[in-house]
Amino acid sequence: MDEVRLIEVKEEIHSDNKVKAEELRSRLATSKTFLLNLMSSPGAGKTTTILKTIEILGDDLTMGVIEADIDSMVDAEKIAETGINAVQLRTGGFCHLDASMVERGLDGMDLSPLDLVIIENVGNLVCPAEFDTGAIKNAMILSVPEGDDKPLKYPLMFTVCDVLLVNKIDYLSLSDFDIQAMRERVLKLNPDIQIFEISSKTGQGVEAWVDWLKTEVNQFIN
Domains (range + CATH), the chain: 10-214 (3.40.50.300)
Q: Tell which phi-psi region holds residue 134, choosing left (phi > 0), alpha (psi between -120 and 50) or beta.
A: left
131, HSE (Cβ side, Cα atoms, 13 Å): 26
pLDDT tens digits, 122-136: 999 999 999 999 999
**Residue 91: its pLDDT value, please?**
72
Residues forming beta bridges with residue 138, ordered by sequence position: 37
The helix or strand, by DSSP H or E, that contains position 101, with its residue range, turns out to be helix 99-107
**Residue 143: its pLDDT value, please?**
98
Q: What is the C-alpha to C-alpha distance for residues 167 and 45, in angstroms, rounded to an integer?
A: 7
| Arithmetic mean of pLDDT over the chain | 90
10-residue mean pLDDT profile of the chain (222 residues): values are: 45 76 96 98 95 92 88 78 87 81 91 96 93 97 98 98 98 96 98 98 96 98 92
**Residue 4: its pLDDT value, please?**
56
